[in-house]
Amino acid sequence: MTLEVTRLLRIALVASVAWTAAAQAADCPRPGTLGTSRILAVDPAATPRVGLKSFPQTLPLADREVVLTFDDGPWPATTSRVLAALAQECVRATFFLIGKPASEHPALVRRLAAQGHTIGHHTWSHHNLKYMKPADAEAEIDKGIAADEKALHGVATTIPSTPFFRFPYFESTPHLLERLQSRGIAVFGADLWASDWEPMTPQAQLKLLTDRLRIAGKGIILLHDPKAQTAAMLPAFLRYLRDNHYRVVHLVPAPGGPGVARVP
Would residue 142 show up in a list of annotated catalytic residues for this protein? Answer: no
pLDDT band at 240 (very low <50, low <70, confident <90, very high): very high
- Catalytic residue (choose from 117, 121, 122, 224): 224
Mean pLDDT of the chain: 90
Rounded Cα distance, 258 and 235, in Å: 36
What pLDDT is stored for residue 7 in this prediction? 40
pLDDT digits 0-9 by tens, 172-217: 999 999 999 999 999 999 999 999 999 999 999 999 999 999 999 9
* Residue at 46 is within a domain: yes
* Residue at 139 is within a domain: yes
* Residue at 134 is within a domain: yes
pLDDT band at 34 (very low <50, low <70, confident <90, very high): very high
233 touches 66 (CB < 8 A): no
Mean pLDDT for the stretch of residues 116-137: 98
Q: Please state the domain count of the chain.
A: 1
* CA distances, 189 to each of 4, 29, 68, 69, 152 (Å): 32, 33, 12, 10, 24
* Residue at 107 is within a domain: yes
Would residue 63 show up in a list of annotated catalytic residues for this protein? Answer: no
CATH of the domain at 101: 3.20.20.370
- Global pTM reads 0.88
126 touches 166 (CB < 8 A): no
* Residue at 193 is within a domain: yes
* Residue at 32 is within a domain: yes
* Residue at 68 is within a domain: yes
pLDDT digits 0-9 by tens, 133-171: 999 999 999 999 999 999 999 999 999 999 999 999 999
pLDDT digits 0-9 by tens, 85-119: 999 999 999 999 999 999 999 999 999 999 999 99
Identify any residues that bridge with 193 across adjacent strands, giving them in sequence order. 222
Cβ partners under 8 Å of residue 125, min gap 6 = 98, 99, 100, 140, 144
pLDDT digits 0-9 by tens, 194-206: 999 999 999 999 9
Cβ partners under 8 Å of residue 8, min gap 6 = none
What pLDDT is stored for residue 29 in this prediction? 81
Range of the domain at 154: 3-253
* Residue at 262 is within a domain: no
What pLDDT is stored for residue 143 in this prediction? 98
